[in-house]
Structure 1
Amino acid sequence: MITEHEAAVDALLRKPFPETAYGRRAAFGGADHHVVRLSASPEFWEDRSEDVVGPAREAIEGEHDLLAQALSARWGPAESVSLLPPAHDDAVTEFFGNWTGEMLAWSCPEFGRWVGLAVVQADPELPFELFVAVSNGPHPPGDAAPRAEGQPTGAAGP
């Protein structure tokens, strides 16, 4: 599955940005970004117990972590980007910021783009979803200075 996710990232890095916005929540983009859902858990309308939700969350987080390891092997350590307000500088951080407080991001200078990765859940009865985003620019917006994963907000990366 991770190979499929990596292939999706590669395709998005090479895909031209459209002149006008396209798509809906599972796959959308605009003049400077693409966002795609890579994976989703079942919904939790019938049972929101930890016995049901916990394994689903762990499975999606496991996919996230494996893909993050693969991307870090290619582009170095991820930057941990805070999505807490007022960090919503663009469509990608606004989308992720609606559902989670943080995303991992990698600069991909050979493409002049950056890649963002996050697990989101819109509401407790809705699925956990693994999303990847590709956006224009040398690094993700939001923080004044990028920081390595695990460093506190406001600390400069190495």
Structure 2
Amino acid sequence: MEYVPLQTRQKAAEIAGKRMDVVTFGFADTILILISEDSRLGKMYYVPLTAAPGGNLQAYDYGDEADDDFSLLPLSHLTPVSVLGGGSNEVEGKMYAVQIASMISRQNADERRRVVVGMGIARSSSDDIALGPDARRRFLDILTLVGQCSVW
């Protein structure tokens, strides 16, 4: 068995007035991403990057333009599964998990490791899930922070 060194990256930033920490681990079979606001962690999601056997995995070329509107759409074959926690903002957590897995797949089309996303992000208001302007900015800032911690 070949030894594969563990890759790690960590980054912190202030997002929407709160400290946000992202730590990523690149294991041989798993990419673990921990996103924590104010040193909390409450939910975990699993997203396989490969389609289920018999599933339809079609790659679609969305183009190379950085401003392309399609680049923000999650890939259709990715399905996040809650493995720890749950509750009122389950949709928001799954949205982050599938978007992060989509980003990984787009940045490295050969990536086949499973993705596990741990989150401890508080919703600042009841309209966050609707992605108003402030929530959308926070969502994109968090995705950017995760992208800066690439181990894929």
Q: TM exceeds 0.5? A: no
TM tier relative to shorter chain: under 0.3
Instruction: Compare the two structures and name the one with the higher helix fraction.
Output: 1
* TM-score (normalizing by structure 2): 0.27
- TM-score, normalised via structure 1 length: 0.27
More relative contact order, 1 or 2 (CA 8 Å, 6+ apart): 2
